Chains A and B, each alone.
Chain A
């Protein structure tokens, strides 16, 4: 699934749940990059603050968690999502939820055209995904970056798996179209519902 990101493994997760600090560090190393990228799609540059808050709760409650690594990522993603909502409210950046995923600068059409022909960086890729409507961006990030299946992602988002699947597909179609036809991306910006 996420070939370039590590997996801690269920046995290491079990060791962390049992109180082993090194196992917990390994779990962190395998999980936080995914969570941080997901949080970046939610709150942009404040993602590190959000994930740091989330890890305080994860560290406190991991002993009570039960499930495999996929389930752990789903649980941790839910915590990050809730913390992101709290953060947005506290900062009063958005008057109410649902928040818009516009914290990151939208790439210009020139950027998109350039990126389509060059090697993308992770941050550039996240920026492009973040230009999608919120539900589509979250679905893509949870499936692609966090590495969740449709069922687990649906539980994080409080939706049905079918709805998450459709949102992810729509988001990917939009991204594919932008990358294939950068000259038309400028005329049809996505609007958050």
Chain B
């Protein structure tokens, strides 16, 4: 039995995930865009490590990608352990803070309050605070303010749950939203909190809605990256050429 052929309109609807009829094709496309599988995230540690070792200004270093890959392979295990600890520490920290009424934003100080100049006392993972830059320390002054120990952990949870459309109304993030001033400013606030160049701004989120990026503000058109300097051997803008570099 011959079935009706797929029309151009139906094909376009299928590409947009809005196909009616043609159950077989619809099932095929739904399966192709199916939920994330665990093995599809196996490279997270290596990618994150590469991101962490990339030059801050995004410019290409003299090392080749192959050399970088070799270095990353050696540190992959450490990164995996770190990431595993991050989730546990953040979740545990948030839970602990909630149970003890010591949520971020409160002015309550217990005698057992941790030393805020030590990153080891924070719920935040090591990478949430730049090395040598204690949370709450204003750059250039060395003085400390009373930071919320759970804020970096909340920031981690906020960023990781970026796909959750209801996170802004999640009661777990209430203190973080309050600290940022507004739900729309939380991501910027968290970015500034973990970025030494903009950390000072994070302490006054209401006056700086956006953190200072490492590159210029982007246009809304198609992807492009800043043109390279002449010394670069690899074009920064990816072109559909076989080299890819």
A: residues with CB less than 8 A from B are 1-9, 11-12, 14-26, 28-30, 32-33, 36-37, 48, 51-53, 55-68, 71-72, 74-75, 78-79, 81-83, 85-86, 89, 97, 115-116, 119-122, 124-126, 128-129, 140-141, 143-145, 147, 151-152, 155-158, 165, 168-169, 172-173, 175-177, 179-181
Contact = CB atoms under 8 A, between A and B. Distances in A.
Given A86-B244, A119-B27, A172-B15, 20 more contacts: A5-B34, A9-B163, A14-B191, A15-B190, A17-B218, A22-B160, A32-B40, A55-B50, A60-B55, A60-B68, A67-B218, A79-B244, A121-B34, A125-B29, A140-B15, A144-B33, A176-B25, A179-B24, A180-B3, A181-B1
Chain B, interface SS category: loop
A48 B155 CA distance: 30
B194 A22 contact: yes
A87 to B, nearest CB: 10
Q: Report, nearest first, the 5 A-B pairs whose CB atoms are least far apart.
A: A82-B244, A63-B58, A66-B218, A179-B24, A71-B223
A28 B44 contact: yes
Nearest to B196: A19
A30 B127 contact: no
B121 to A, nearest CB: 20
Contacts of B159: 12, 15, 20, 22-23, 25-26
Q: Which of A57, A60, A74 has the most CB of B within 10 A?
A: A60
